[in-house]
């Protein structure tokens, strides 16, 4: 009889443990500047998601989502910065660009940011 922990949707997503999944350093480490910019961008994303969070996500879900966003932003910045110097980074970035759907709208500035420009100092 299968163990309850081995069944269900999460069982299909389990992967082999790797040094990276154990928090061990693998490959190049992002610079402190990259980490700081990643945190800044992640905070802008998190603040932009606040209404969505309140309507659709619990605090526990948001707690799980925040590091995913931070780490994805950090990875994207790191790979993009190293694009010209590393075949692995170039492959990663090129693959991500290839995945962008044609139907995605062009990014625009957030309304809250634009309101700051409209306000008188």
pLDDT of residue 109: 97
Residue 105's domain comprises 29-118
Q: Is residue 120 pLDDT above 60, yes or no? A: yes
Tell me the three state secondary structure of residue 59.
helix
pLDDT of residue 24: 63
The neighbour count for residue 72, using CB atoms within 10 Å, is 14
Q: Does residue 11 fall inside a structural domain?
A: no
Q: Does residue 92 fall inside a structural domain?
A: yes
Q: Does residue 86 fall inside a structural domain?
A: yes
More confidently predicted of 10 and 110: 110
Number of domains, the chain: 1
Q: Does residue 20 fall inside a structural domain?
A: no
Q: Does residue 43 fall inside a structural domain?
A: yes
At 18-44, the pLDDT tens digits run 766 766 656 789 999 999 999 999 999
Q: Does residue 55 fall inside a structural domain?
A: yes
Q: Does residue 40 fall inside a structural domain?
A: yes
**What pLDDT band is residue 2 in, cutting at 50, 70 and 90?**
very low
Task: Give the pTM.
Answer: 0.76
Q: Does residue 47 fall inside a structural domain?
A: yes
Residue 101 half-sphere exposure toward CB, CA atoms < 13 A: 3
């Amino acid at each position: 009889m299968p163990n309850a922990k081995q069944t269900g949707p999460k069982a299909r997503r389990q992967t082999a443990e790797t040094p990276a999944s154990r928090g061990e350093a693998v490959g190049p480490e992002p610079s402190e500047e990259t980490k700081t910019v990643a945190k800044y961008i992640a905070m802008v994303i998190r603040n932009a998601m606040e209404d969505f969070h309140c309507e659709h996500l619990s605090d526990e879900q948001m707690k799980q989502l925040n590091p995913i966003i931070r780490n994805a932003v950090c990875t994207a910045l790191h790979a993009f910065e190293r694009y010209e110097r590393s075949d692995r980074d170039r492959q990663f970035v090129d693959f991500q660009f290839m995945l962008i759907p044609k139907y995605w709208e062009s990014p625009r500035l957030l309304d809250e940011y634009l309101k700051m420009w409209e306000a008188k100092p």
